Amino acid sequence: MDVRNHYESRIGYFIHPKTGEPAVRPGIRRFSQWPQYVKRHMTAKADGNENNQRHFMTYCTGGIRCEKGARFLQENMGKRDSDTVCTLKGGIAAYLAWMDEEIRLGKKKPEDSLFRGKNYVFDARGAMGLTYGAGHPVSKCHICAEPSDRLSKCQSQGCHLVLVVCEHCEHTGPRCCQSCRAFDDLYASEKQEILPPRPICDCEKEREEQLWGPRPPKEPKQHALKTRSASNRAKVNDMNIQVKIIE
């Protein structure tokens, strides 16, 4: 199970050694959503035949988040004595370093790696893959659908959703969805310096609904304040104010 953010697992992930199926990759936007994901989705998977032995392995970039994720998974999914919950020591970074050394010594080939794509890192490098025999990108550009493992951000005002964007499309000011384009058009045409708080964009709303189900919309606080201010002004205008002049 991948405990990283959804944009990290887009460009690289582990596969099952026998079936080749990608690992479970929750669409969470930040690690703080992992406990909620476990409670909502993994506890349901934990129900079933008590005699079945279950195996869970978590992994992340460098081994820190997956240790915390494994502990929370173990404590909240109703673990039985026959179950196995483990984590990848050192994370993807340690695995790629080990695999590179094995390839260099001639003990393994690049295609023997169970990790596909690149490992997202939080520095100027962006993403790292195998040094020897790097594979093809496993993700596609959000704009043109060409194979790419480059990450960029939605250029819409106030969105900044991380996207997979190729080098060519990165210079075109990519937007994640039509709602972001529409908001930017409104922002460009609006003469006021302060716009009302922007709503969540359509693609982010769809991802959130897939994770947690539909949620009722919330009225922005600033809009509520403006409504109360207008109401107060109406009350003032309706007041019968008499002015007495004293000579």
What is the per-residue pLDDT across 113-164, written as a single tens digit (0 to 9) for each? 999 999 998 887 888 999 887 678 999 999 999 999 999 999 998 888 999 9
Rounded distance between C-alpha atoms, residue 87 and residue 74, angstroms: 11
**What's the whole-number mean pLDDT along residues 222-247?**
48
Q: Is the pTM higher than 0.85?
A: no
Active site includes 60? yes
Q: Provide φ and ψ at 224, rounded to 5°.
A: -65, -40
Rounded distance between C-alpha atoms, residue 102 and residue 106, angstroms: 6
Q: At what angle do helices 202-212 and 178-189 cross, to 10 degrees?
A: 140
Contact criterion met (CB below 8 Å) for 7 and 160: no
From the list 60, 141, 166, 169, the catalytic residue is: 60
The confidence score (pLDDT) of residue 241 equals 45
Report the alpha-carbon angle 234-236-238, nearest 5.
70
**What domains are defined for the chain?**
6-139 (3.40.250.10), 140-227 (no CATH)
Task: Tell whether the model's pLDDT for residue 243 goes beyond 50.
Answer: no
Total Cβ atoms within 10 A of residue 247: 2
The confidence score (pLDDT) of residue 115 equals 95
Task: Tell whether the model's pLDDT for residue 49 goes beyond 80.
Answer: no
Contact criterion met (CB below 8 Å) for 12 and 149: yes
The confidence score (pLDDT) of residue 247 equals 46
Rounded distance between C-alpha atoms, residue 218 and residue 48, angstroms: 37
